[in-house]
Structure 1
Amino acid sequence: MTSSRARDNGRARARDNDRARARDNGRARERDNGTARERDNGLASLGRPLALVLAAVLGVVLCIGGLVVHRHVDLHVPWGLILALAALLVTLRAAGLVAGVAGAVVLALAYGVVLLLTMSSRPEGDYLVAADALGYAFLLGSLVVLGLGVVLAVRGAGHIERGTVDRPRTLGS
């Protein structure tokens, strides 16, 4: 009888220790999350509007840069077009990571507005984007990359909010 009672007491103690350990871990997690949240809110008050303005400026600069380089062809490879679209995709992804979905959308809107303005004819009667294969590839490629960048930002934000993104490990952990 005493051996079964001792076993039951041992199990109860182990169960209580497990519960206490889980409770302490939960409190530590809440404390860590609270500290990170407070830091994020402090930075967000100044950093988020600044990041959105920077995203808009980057959208305008990227579109103008893409207009300048998209016609560069060397050895029958449109390096300028590839560079312009790759820079757009990388910058959209970075804006989505830094400023969230809003950053990617602001960058895409700024780029799109400049792209639409350049499609109209100039007073001299010519266009900034020629009506040839490279011009259409730049216009359509830009639209595809803009859509892809915003979708990636939305998907990334969903993973971050749900907490399914692995945090990078540091040397101490």
Structure 2
Amino acid sequence: MFVFSLLCSSLFAQNVAIINSKPISSKEFMWAYKKSHNGSSTTDYNDLLAYLNLYINFKLKVLDAREMGLDKNINYQEEVKSYGGALETHKKVVHSDKDRDYLLNEYREGVLMFNVSEQKIWNKAQDDEQGLEDFYRKNKQNYNKSLSEVRGEVIADYQQKLEENWLNSLREKYSIKINENELRKLAKL
């Protein structure tokens, strides 16, 4: 039991978080962080934690998309296959096999996140006239004009509320463990 416990804590130490038993490795996380911060790796703990929470939200959406079977869609699979082929063709752009793997995974997950967001947020906000009207009525104090005059603003706010509700439900549905020790270690690099 002690060996198993030690092994589990050793594996956890190499990850910044675990979502539903699926680890987010420190290397993957820092690759994504540096990519979104123009290569910069100097940061403090609070910056990393804020980014990790955004990254977890992204991973939760991807997990939801997979549970919905969106990764089984033929068009999705063809799109990912095509991107993988394009990466192979342009090997000069990708510096290592690990970078290629990260890029392909980022693309794969990004398309899933886009597809699930389109279904759960963007299309719903556009197509759910009753929901939009109800949202407008509940928040009328935030708008000085009629719904028809501020429709775009109300749709944007409604989308934000839908996303917030969706993320809250995902955070309740899936277990999330953040490895604060690993995050602190990364902040010192």
Q: TM-score, normalised by structure 1?
A: 0.26
Report the structure, 1 or 2, having the larger helix content.
1
Report the structure, 1 or 2, having the larger strand content.
2
Q: TM-score, normalised by structure 2?
A: 0.24
Q: RCO higher in 1 or 2 (8 Å CA, sep ≥ 6)? A: 2
Tell me which structure has the larger Cα radius of gyration. Answer: 1
